[in-house]
């Protein structure tokens, strides 16, 4: 039975920038869950909308 994995995940450059900006502004630490929510919301935005046939507009 494997108790732990032998790799680590690190934030991407964009995720790291969001965390650094929050820290500089004195805001609380931005969690991975919050970053994921923001990414999902950004993907649903009008600038990322796709045409009905699946192509990007």
pLDDT reading at 52 higher than 80: no
Q: Determine, yes or no, domain membership for 55.
A: no
Q: Determine, yes or no, domain membership for 21.
A: yes
pLDDT reading at 12 higher than 90: no
Residue 32's domain comprises 13-40
Rounded to a whole number of angstroms, the distance between the first and last alpha carbons of the chain is 48
pLDDT band at 25 (very low <50, low <70, confident <90, very high): very high
- Identify which of 38, 44, 45 has the alpha carbon closest to the alpha carbon of residue 12: 38
Q: Determine, yes or no, domain membership for 3.
A: no
3-class DSSP assignment, residue 50:
strand
Average pLDDT in the 40-50 region?
Answer: 75
User: 30 and 18 in contact (C-beta within 8 Å)?
Assistant: yes
pLDDT band at 26 (very low <50, low <70, confident <90, very high): very high
Q: Determine, yes or no, domain membership for 4.
A: no
User: 42 and 48 in contact (C-beta within 8 Å)?
Assistant: yes
Q: Determine, yes or no, domain membership for 20.
A: yes
Q: How far is the C-alpha of 17 from the C-alpha of 28, rounded, in Å?
A: 14
What total number of domains does the chain contain?
1
């Amino acid at each position: 039975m494997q108790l732990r994995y032998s790799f680590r995940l690190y934030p991407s450059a964009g995720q790291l920038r969001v965390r650094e900006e929050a820290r500089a502004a004195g805001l609380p630490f931005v969690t991975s869950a919050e970053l994921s929510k923001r990414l999902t919301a950004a993907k649903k935005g009008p600038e990322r909308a796709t045409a009905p046939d699946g192509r990007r507009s």
